[in-house]
């Protein structure tokens, strides 16, 4: 059991990284990675929501949708669950920790439309995870997303003064960098 969880976590952080292997969350990835601090906040918020989403989606899927033969409603249900969850998390953080709330700021409501979360929800029934493994799948995937954000933000901060062709500035350069990082991440494929 422990071995399975460790492998799953390592796999979802390094090998099946949501950004580099599945191209998820590309929009926030291009949007916020110009600063290390905002990348950290967004990464933390996303990981937090993913950790909560995974077990809740598992419970709803197994105890509501499968039991009452409503699988065709999966897509609609999952996006609603995510939207409600993000809203609840936002309210909870605002009440309990105003400092954290201010740090996360606009990123919190935007998480609803981050494709990482919906993809995570859809994968849980497809891969037939159990409650515990889906929890760790959520944590691992969130950490993987955070790692991708931090790496890119670090590189882009270093590059801010570099002399690059004007038409490549911003998004094109970020995408090419992401391609190179993805290439190096492919090296992890032989790890497990």
**Positions in the binding site for other proteins (CB under 8 A):** 20-27, 30-31, 72-76, 78-80, 83, 112-115, 118-119, 122-123, 126, 165-168, 171-176, 178-180, 182-183, 186
Distance of CA 11 to the CA centre of its chain: 14
What does DSSP assign to residue 192?
Answer: -
Instruction: Measure the CA–CA gap between 17 and 14, rounded to whole angstroms.
Output: 5
Cβ closest to other proteins, residue 96 vs residue 190: 190
What is the smallest separation between the CB atom of 83 and other proteins, expressed in angstroms? 6
> In this structure, what is the dihedral angle of CA atoms 149, 54, 189, 39, given to the nearest 10 degrees?
0
Name the minimum Å distance from CB 185 to other proteins: 8
Phi, psi of 16 (to 5 degrees): -100, 45
Q: Which is nearer to other proteins, 6 or 64 (CB)?
A: 64
Q: How far is the CB of 3 from other proteins (least distance, A)?
A: 27
Q: How far apart are CA 89 and CA 132, in angstroms?
A: 21
Please state, as a whole number, how many other Cβ atoms lie within 10 Å of the Cβ of residue 48.
19
Q: Residue 99 CB, nearest distance to other proteins (Å)?
A: 27
**Calpha distance 169→125 (Å, rounded):** 40
Shortest separation between residue 2's beta carbon and other proteins, angstroms: 28
Instruction: Spell out the residues 6+ positions from residue 174 whose beta carbon is closer than 8 angstroms to its own.
Output: 29, 30, 33, 152, 156
Q: Which is nearer to other proteins, 75 or 97 (CB)?
A: 75
């Amino acid at each position: 059991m422990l071995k399975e969880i460790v492998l799953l976590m390592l796999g979802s952080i390094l090998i099946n990284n949501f950004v580099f292997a599945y191209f998820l969350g590309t929009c926030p990835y291009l949007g916020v990675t110009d600063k290390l601090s905002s990348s950290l906040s967004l990464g933390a918020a996303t990981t937090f929501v993913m950790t909560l989403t995974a077990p809740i989606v598992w419970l709803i899927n197994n105890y509501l949708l499968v039991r009452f033969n409503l699988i065709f409603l999966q897509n609609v249900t999952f996006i609603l669950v995510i939207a409600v969850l993000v809203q609840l998390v936002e309210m909870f953080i605002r009440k309990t920790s105003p400092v954290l709330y201010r740090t996360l700021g606009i990123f919190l409501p935007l998480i609803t439309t981050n494709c990482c979360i919906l993809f995570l929800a859809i994968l849980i029934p497809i891969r037939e995870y159990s409650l515990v493994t889906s929890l760790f799948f959520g944590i691992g995937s969130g950490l993987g997303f955070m790692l991708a954000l931090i790496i890119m933000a670090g590189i882009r901060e270093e590059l801010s003064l570099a002399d690059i062709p004007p038409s490549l500035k911003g998004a094109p350069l970020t995408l090419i960098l992401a391609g190179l990082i993805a290439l190096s991440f492919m090296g992890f494929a032989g790890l497990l």
